[in-house]
Chains A and B, each alone.
Chain A
Amino acid sequence: MAEFTLDCLGEACPVPLMKTEKKIGELSVGDVLVVSIDHSCAMKNVPEWARKQGHNVEIEEVDDGEWEIIIEKTK
């Protein structure tokens, strides 16, 4: 049940999504990944991808134009 972070600040699509996909693949079930992003499109497509994969997702707006996407790997 470890927690990992992934810094994608300043990255444009689709880099945050590709990094998240890769990182989630390395984690084990139950682990949590916190992705930091400031790209408004990634704030939509990263959670959307994770939900389609069946993971638990939460989005938190940590500052103006900056988000943390919290993904709990479920499978």
Chain B
Amino acid sequence: MSETNIGTSSGTQRARKQRKPKKSQIPYAILLTALIIAFGFYLGRGNNQLPVYWGFGIAFGYILQRSRFCFTAAFRDPCITGSTSVTRAVLVAVALSSVGFWAIKYASVLKEAETNLNMAGVSPIGLPLALGAVLFGIGMVIAGGCASGTLMRVGEGFLMQMLVLVFFIAGSAWGAHDMGFWGKFNENAPKIYLPDVFGWFGAILVQGIIIVLLYIAAAKWQEKKMGTME
């Protein structure tokens, strides 16, 4: 949807409010870019990781804003309007990332590295996961954005999201405090890693099939709710 100026077929002839005198924020953008680079150099003094973290942060923020990518919308829009275009985009992101992660993890095993990356990013499945996900889902819809979305909107100048961020941080500390209690439920919770269950090739196959089936389900859902798969 890049076309932003499509005339209505009947041609809306209404008298429009005159656009305010044009301003350009591009000079500020250039200044900010210079500051971003300068800060990168500042972080790089004696540290070769921080500038990379900085670069990734900038890239993620930039991409999220430019494409209006929103993980919240992927789960919320099917509930509200029935639209699944963002949902399907998330499935695309997950599918592509899976291929890359698979390759990196498999390579680390082939090298017989002492510390292979098999269990990187693998979490236990227990009561805290389910409860946390439900709470998170409620919160993100009410607040109008998840973690990455809130940060992105703070950058856009959304004061409401700054307030969300403050309480997000407070809630996180509260959650960390209570992990002493919730952690007990994770002691016997299984960490299930798909290649352990299906083997390396089975894992990518199973994951691929899940993603394709969800994609089809999402398209069908939108067709049912909105009458178009587009």
Residue A23 at the chain B interface, CB threshold 8 Å: no
Q: Would you call B20 and A62 a contact (CB within 8 A)? A: yes
Chain B nearest CB, measured from A29 CB (Å): 12
**Which chain A residue shows the least CB distance to B72?**
A13
Minimum C-beta distance from A32 to chain B (A) = 6
Q: Nearest CB to that of B142 among chain A residues?
A: A12
User: A-side binding surface: helix, strand, loop or mixed?
Assistant: mixed
Please report the number of residue pairs spanning A and B whose Cβ atoms sit closer than 8 angstroms. 86
Chain A residue nearest in CB terms to B66: A40
A13 touches B145 (CB 8 A): yes
List the B residue with the shortest CB-CB distance to A48: B1
Closest to B14 in A: A3
A40–B12 alpha-carbon span in the complex (Å): 24
Contact A48 B85 (CB under 8 A): yes
Check A58–B7 contact: CB distance below 8 A.
yes
Q: Which residue numbers of A lie inside 8 Å of B, CB to CB?
A: 3, 10, 12-15, 17-18, 21, 32, 39-41, 44-45, 47-49, 51-53, 56-65, 68, 70, 72
A-B CB contact pairs (8 Å), 24 listed: A12-B143, A13-B72, A14-B144, A15-B144, A17-B81, A21-B81, A32-B12, A41-B70, A44-B1, A45-B68, A49-B83, A51-B1, A52-B228, A52-B230, A56-B10, A57-B6, A58-B5, A59-B4, A60-B5, A60-B16, A60-B19, A68-B17, A70-B8, A72-B12
